[in-house]
Structures are given as C-alpha cells and as structure tokens.
C-alpha cells in the first residue's frame, strides 16, 4: 500500500518533520537534490547541457542544489532565475550562494536553445493560482522546445490536489516527487503532464504521515497478498456462492462476463438469474455456472436464500421487471452482500427522483440523495457507477464530478457504510471517509463489458470473505492489472472485455 497526499497534508508532513522531529530544512533539501541528480544521471550523457529553471521558493532551492551536485560531478550546468534574488526564500538564498561560489552560471536570460536538458524548479505543490504573464510564456517556450524535462516534485502549473492545469503547465518527461505521491500526479490531466514518476524517500518519518491522518492510498503488486487465503480443506461451498441477476432478453453478454469473472476470481459457485431466452447462450458459453430464469418468481426467492453475494444490474434494462427485481433484492433482508451495477444504479436514481421534491418545492441536495441511498440500501453495499450513472445517482453534472472528484468521493462516503466504486480513467473507491485511487490499467479497457468484468471480480472477492471496501479496492487493482496483461497480448486497440476476463488468471498466478 502506498499513501497519496494533497498539498496541505504534504506541507504538514514537511512542517512536522522540521519542527517536531527537528530535521533541518537544508538537510531535506540536500536529500531531495541528491534524488533529482540521481534520476537525471540515469538518463542523460556527459555532453548534455543542463538548464535549471528556478522560482524563488524552496522548489527552486531543490533545483539549484541538484544543479550544484551535477556540476560538481562534471556536468555542464547553468541556472536561470525567474525573479529578483532578494525575493527568494532563505533556503534558496543559501543554495544560490553556494552555486555562485562554485562559479555556476546564474542569470535571467532565456537562452533555451543552448540547452537540451531542463530541470523544472519553478513552482512546487503550493501553487494556488493560474500562471500568467512572462512565466506563462516561459513555460510555453520550454514545452515548444526540443528538451528533455525533469520536474521537481510536480510539473510547474499542475495542481497537486486536483491535477488541473493552472492556465499553463510544464510537460515533463520525468517527475521526481518527494515523500509521497501527490493526488494531482495521478488525476488527469496532471498525469499526462508528469511523464515517468519517481517517488523519492528523503527522510520523512512515519509518524509525520500518521500526524496528518492520511486517508488516500493506492496498491502495488505486493498487495496481491491481501487476496483471500485458499484453505486446503475447502470445497466449492466454502469459497462462496454468487448470484448474478443480469441480462434482459437479448443482453446475455453482461451476465456472462460478470459470472465468468466471478469464477475466474476463485468463487466456488455462481448462479445466473436472467431472462429465459438467455438460457442457451449462458449455458453454452459458461457451463460452469448454474442458470435460472427470473421470469419465474419462485426462482428469485430461492436464489436469494442461496447466495452469499448478489450482483444486480449488468444488462438488466430499465423495464418494470428490472425495477421489481431490484426492489425485491433490496427489501429481502437476506444475509447476502450486494453489488449494484449498471442499470440497477439508474433504477436507484429513479427511486430517489420519485421523492425529489420535499417540503414543497425544495429539491434534494447531494447530501439528501446520499443519505436517502444509505437509508435504502443495506450496509456494505457496493455501488459501481461510471460518471454518467454517478451523475444521475447524486444529481451532479458529469463536469462538476470531474472537477471535484475528491470532494464528491468524500461526500458520498461520509457518515454511511456504503462503498462507491467510481469508475473512470482513474477509478476511485470511496468508503468511510477513505479513498483508494487506482493506478493499474490502460485506455484499451474503455470498451463495452469491461465494467461487467470488474463487478464480477468484486463479488468474487466478497464471496470469499473480504470486506466490501477491501474487495472493491483490490478488485479495481486486479481488474487494471488484467487489462495491462491483456494489452501485452492483443494491444490497446484490439483489447476486449473477454481478454480482461481471461487475464484474471494471469494476475492471480502472480500471487500464487
């Protein structure tokens, strides 16, 4: 597990390290500079010419110190200041004095054509307003040049909190960030500006992280160790039973993909409850799964009693029958955990909209809608909306969701026990005030049926004993890894949901 921080948390970690632990600021700066220099040296040649482009703050000081280290190791280095020297921070003044005493070229001229390596040390994570004027023009000139660019902590112009471009931003080839990953480096468009990211350990103590109550994290390959243990004396019943209520007439694919993903994830038994006319297709494509028709009422009640986990929604449609099925599932008070996806989410949005006016003409706010959902659904229900479905569910535009995704995630998971898997290029899992940000996967996975596969993985992990929020987070990571493995076989353009499903086995074998 790797923690992810916003600008405020990182500043507080920095402050705690210096004020409580008493680590000198210049020591942290030197460690940061050594990491920058080490990364630059991995890539460049001795004959390359390096220009360190600096702002007046400590980000600029990191850059000057890195330039000094490279200069002392025989590299050609110059420093470009974008400010008057009297305006710089104390640490920056110290670094400039050392650089001047060594004879490193320091000036204010923009002779970018003389250099092929740029170290971007203009702005750090504290940038809070758009970049304008001469600095904006300078950044544009760097981006238009034929340079290899290394950004210090974050590409200048990218918000560390949201990933937004603050009018203009450096397009880096490499970013060396310190201590912990920053939110803005993972969210788009910031992720597109960061290039290859290195998270460098410069000596922040673990208790500094604990002091800020870090609540956002991602997974790495080592976290596959969180997978449920496979007991040697287990049998198909002990590895869980999943009921997949999916597929209207002629829409069998979603049911098939979800059910197969469940089985591929290790669940013991899967039953598909679908339209009668889907029987032959499902039983031909997936003979390992049981099948029953939801057109017969008795089948539903029997299946609900049988299941440990219930998936409802993929390809289900918005018919009266689909609404009846969802209402029955929600109100049945069975022991089974719920995973609600696709059409079932849209039906839920309609249920909320039916009471959209309260106390006269007052519309439900986002918090009203979230609270209503929490009142309707059993605890630990997992919801897996894509942006349009989330928009319908909480009554916020897709644009507003995209602009404020962390705030939306916090609101959705505040003071309730639901788990929101907010699917997107960077899927976020929100639960109990915490957030998982996924870093696996690729754009080839933006294909029909990919979400149905994810739903099946989530259900499979819950059925094997994982808590809903753990299953949601790990399933998203596994889903992305499967997509990456599938891409290596078939490429981005040809990747289909079935390829992702088949690659689940490859991912889980890594753990074995």
| Residue 355 banded pLDDT, cuts 50, 70, 90 | low
pLDDT at 11 over 70: yes
- Looking at residues 415-428, what average pLDDT do you find? 96
**pLDDT tens digit sequence for 275-287:** 999 999 999 999 9
- In contact, 217 and 433? CB cutoff 8 Å: no
CA atoms within 13 A on the CB side of 259: 27
- The pLDDT score that the predictor gives to residue 237 is 83
Tell me the C-alpha distance between 212 and 182, whole Å: 14
- The pLDDT score that the predictor gives to residue 363 is 58
**DSSP bridge pairs for 242:** 270, 309
- Looking at residues 416-430, what average pLDDT do you find? 97
CB atoms < 10 A from the CB of 512, how many?
Answer: 7
- Comparing 296 with 15, which gets the higher pLDDT? 15
pTM: 0.94
Residue 162 backbone class (left: φ over 0; alpha: ψ -120 to 50; beta: rest)? alpha
- The pLDDT score that the predictor gives to residue 360 is 42
Share of the chain above pLDDT 70, in %: 98
**pLDDT tens digit sequence for 444-479:** 999 999 999 999 999 999 999 999 999 999 999 999
Give the pair of three-digit tokens for residue 208.
């500094």
Give me the phi and psi of 91, to 5 degrees please: -65, -35
Give me the phi and psi of 431, to 5 degrees please: -160, 135
- The pLDDT score that the predictor gives to residue 232 is 85
Share of the chain above pLDDT 90, in %: 89
- Looking at residues 226-245, what average pLDDT do you find? 91
**pLDDT tens digit sequence for 64-110:** 999 999 999 999 999 999 988 888 999 999 999 999 999 999 987 77
For tokens 């976020």, the residue is: 428
**pLDDT tens digit sequence for 41-57:** 999 999 999 999 999 99
Structural domains of the chain ordered from first start: 2-214 (3.40.50.10260), 222-227+237-511 (3.40.1190.20)
pLDDT at 362 over 70: no
Question: Chain-wide mean pLDDT for the chain?
Answer: 95
Strand 357-358, strand 362-363: pairing:
antiparallel
Tell me the C-alpha distance between 121 and 402, whole Å: 28
- The pLDDT score that the predictor gives to residue 5 is 98
């Amino acid at each position: 597990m790797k923690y992810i921080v916003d600008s405020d948390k990182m500043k507080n970690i920095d402050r705690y390290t210096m004020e409580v632990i008493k680590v000198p600021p210049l020591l942290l700066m030197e460690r940061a500079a050594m990491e920058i220099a080490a990364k630059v040296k991995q890539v460049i040649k001795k004959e390359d010419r390096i220009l360190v482009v600096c702002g007046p703050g400590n980000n600029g000081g990191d850059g000057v110190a890195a330039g000094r280290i490279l200069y002392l190791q025989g590299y050609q280095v110059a420093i470009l200041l974008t400010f008057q020297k009297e305006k710089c921070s104390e640490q920056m003044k110290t670094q400039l004095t050392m650089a001047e005493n060594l004879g490193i070229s320091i000036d204010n001229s923009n002779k970018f054509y003389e250099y092929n390596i740029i170290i971007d040390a203009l702005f750090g994570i504290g940038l809070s307003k758009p970049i304008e004027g001469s600095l904006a023009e300078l950044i544009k000139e760097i981006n238009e040049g034929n340079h290899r660019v290394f950004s210090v902590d974050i590409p200048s112009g990218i918000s560390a909190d949201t990933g937004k471009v603050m009018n203009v931003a450096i397009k880096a080839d490499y970013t060396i960030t310190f201590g912990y990953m920053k939110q803005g480096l993972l969210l788009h468009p910031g992720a597109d500006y960061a290039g290859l990211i290195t998270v460098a350990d410069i000596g922040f103590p673990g208790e500094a992280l604990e002091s800020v109550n870090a609540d956002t994290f991602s997974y790495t390959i080592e976290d596959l160790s969180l997978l449920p243990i496979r007991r040697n004396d287990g049998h198909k019943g002990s590895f869980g039973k999943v009921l997949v209520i999916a597929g209207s007439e002629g829409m069998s694919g979603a049911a098939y993909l979800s059910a197969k993903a469940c089985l591929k994830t290790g669940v013991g038994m899967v039953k598909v409850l679908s339209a009668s006319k889907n029987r032959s297709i499902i039983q031909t494509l997936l003979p390992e799964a049981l099948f029953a028709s939801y057109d017969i009422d008795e089948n539903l009640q029997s299946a609900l009693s049988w299941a440990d986990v219930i998936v409802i929604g993929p390809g289900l449609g918005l018919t009266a029958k689909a609404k009846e099925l969802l209402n029955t599932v929600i109100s049945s008070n069975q022991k089974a955990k719920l995973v609600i996806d696709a059409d079932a989410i849209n039906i839920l949005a309609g249920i909320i909209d039916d009471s959209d006016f309260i106390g006269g003409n007052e519309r439900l706010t986002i918090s009203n809608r979230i609270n209503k959902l929490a009142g309707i659904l059993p605890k630990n229900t997992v919801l897996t909306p894509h942006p349009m479905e989330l928009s319908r569910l909480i009554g916020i535009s897709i644009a507003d969701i995209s602009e404020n995704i962390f705030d939306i995630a916090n609101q959705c998971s505040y003071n309730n026990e639901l788990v929101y898997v907010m699917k997107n290029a960077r899927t976020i899992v929100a639960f109990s005030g915490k957030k998982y940000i996924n870093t696996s996967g690729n754009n080839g996975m933006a294909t029909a049926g990919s979400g149905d596969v994810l739903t099946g993985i989530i259900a499979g992990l819950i059925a094997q004993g994982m808590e809903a929020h753990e299953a949601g987070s790990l399933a998203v990571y596994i889903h992305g890894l499967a997509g990456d493995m599938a891409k290596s076989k078939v490429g981005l353009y040809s990747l289909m949901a079935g390829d992702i499903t088949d690659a689940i086995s490859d991912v889980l074998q890594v753990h074995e």
